[in-house]
Amino acid sequence: MVKIALDCMGGDFAPGPIVKGAELAVKENIAHVVLLGDEKAIKTHLGTSKDIEILHTNTTVEMHESSSTALRKKKDSSMNKAFELVKAGNADAVVTAGNSGAAMAFAIFTLGRIYSVDRPAIATLHPTVNEGTSVLIDSGGNVDCKPMHLIQFAIMGDAFAKSVIGIKKPRVGLLSNGEEETKGNELTRETNSILKYMDINYIGYVEGTDIYNGKVDVIVSDGFVGNVALKVAEGIADSLNAFFKIKINSSIKNRMGYMFLKDVFQELVRKTDYSEYGGAPLLGVDGICIICHGKSNEKAIKNAIVMAKKFAEKGLNQSIKETISGYQSINRLKEK
């Protein structure tokens, strides 16, 4: 059975929902889970599942701590100890809802990068109108990218879509401010000119609208733009839920309407709820790591454990390694 190293101290509401999420996963027999963090704090939240393994740690990476400070001072944290478990072969994947910058830093420091990858990147999954899933990479912290970084994101996103989502020939697009080749900025224009000649199903520039319309499977972007796109989507989902809540509670007529449409609203909430996806994989490090939203509830944590298990079983990293090593030209460029 797959074994997950869970950082119980990371997240805005840790350790409560993190521990509860682990309990759910264990009860459903999804995976073995090792809980890392303050043993006493963890035990106050553990219900009946006394058989979950706890690995006590003394320090915690704070949510707004800089990753360089964390790297220097928090090697004994619950977060880094989780990565060490995977590195030593004592767990198959890390799940953390902690400081994502620090998680990225510890993942690189402790697990190391896959050969040929300069910058590991966060891939987020998005529902599309045609019931599919699109992947946005990088949704994380890689700002000021060079074309070579975006090309690596494209290769990793392609391998991810193939091996984990099961799309035979993923359509890979480059996020831009218009579809025409004359659009884009310096970074996207140079990246576009290289991606065109690569052995991936590259469909050219895509726009913000295309993340959800099912036109593209893998959307490549630098982490600054990707993060803005992600947060816009999150903001709209929040505003929308707030809007309906106010309206539905404002009159008896509206509450009646809600009763009829309850299933539809619940489906919408599910579709726009990040906790359904659980978390986002950090691609490019030599081990599996799922980074969860800081506000993760127990369902999100459980689903992140499901995701981590799936990635471990599907050999995600093997697929990325094989794909990226096939691009000899990238290695040659790197060796220059």
Binding segment for a second copy (CB under 8 A), chosen from 20-28, 236-244, 296-304, 306-314, is 236-244
User: How many C-beta neighbours within 10 Å does residue 62 have?
Assistant: 16
Q: Does 207 bind a second copy (CB under 8 A)?
A: yes
Cα torsion 145, 113, 287, 231 to 10°: value is -10
Specify the residue, 85 or 104, whose C-beta has the smaller distance to a second copy.
Answer: 104
Specify the residue, 110 or 227, whose C-beta has the smaller distance to a second copy.
Answer: 227
Can you read off the two tokens belonging to residue 223? 């982490």
Can you say how many angstroms the Cα of residue 323 is from the centroid of all Cα atoms in its chain?
20
Nearest distance from C-beta of residue 186 to a second copy, angstroms:
5
Q: For residues 176 and 183, what is the distance between their CA atoms, to the nearest angstrom?
A: 7
Nearest distance from C-beta of residue 234 to a second copy, angstroms:
5
Binding segment for a second copy (CB under 8 A), chosen from 3-11, 159-167, 254-262, 316-324, is 254-262
Cβ contact 88:288 at 8 Å: no
Q: Does 269 bind a second copy (CB under 8 A)?
A: no
Binding track, positions 274-303, relative to a second copy; x by CB under 8 A: ------------------------------
Q: Does 264 bind a second copy (CB under 8 A)?
A: yes
The CA-atom distances, in angstroms, between 35 and each of 9, 102, 152, 212 are 9, 19, 33, 35
Of 27, 73, 196, 231, the one binding a second copy (CB under 8 A) is 231
Name the β-bridge partners of 4: 33, 93
Specify the residue, 225 or 308, whose C-beta has the smaller distance to a second copy.
Answer: 225
Q: Does 268 bind a second copy (CB under 8 A)?
A: yes
Burial tier of 270 (Cβ tally within 10 Å: 0-12, 13-18, 19+): exposed
Binding track, positions 13-52, relative to a second copy; x by CB under 8 A: ----------------------------------------
Residues contacting residue 109 through CB under 8 Å, at least 6 positions apart? 71, 80, 83
Cβ contact 152:222 at 8 Å: no
Residues 291-305, buried b or exposed e (16+ Cβ, 10 A)? bbbeebbbbbbbbbb
Specify the residue, 154 or 288, whose C-beta has the smaller distance to a second copy.
Answer: 154
Burial tier of 91 (Cβ tally within 10 Å: 0-12, 13-18, 19+): buried
Binding segment for a second copy (CB under 8 A), chosen from 106-114, 263-271, 306-314, 325-333, is 263-271
Specify the residue, 211 or 305, whose C-beta has the smaller distance to a second copy.
Answer: 211
Q: For residues 181 and 175, what is the distance between their CA atoms, to the nearest angstrom?
A: 12
Q: Does 243 bind a second copy (CB under 8 A)?
A: yes
Of 41, 194, 248, 269, the one binding a second copy (CB under 8 A) is 248
What residues make contact with a second copy under the rule CB under 8 A? 64, 66, 128-129, 141, 143-144, 175-178, 180, 182, 184-186, 188, 207-213, 221, 223-225, 227-240, 242-244, 247-248, 253-254, 256-261, 264, 267-268, 271
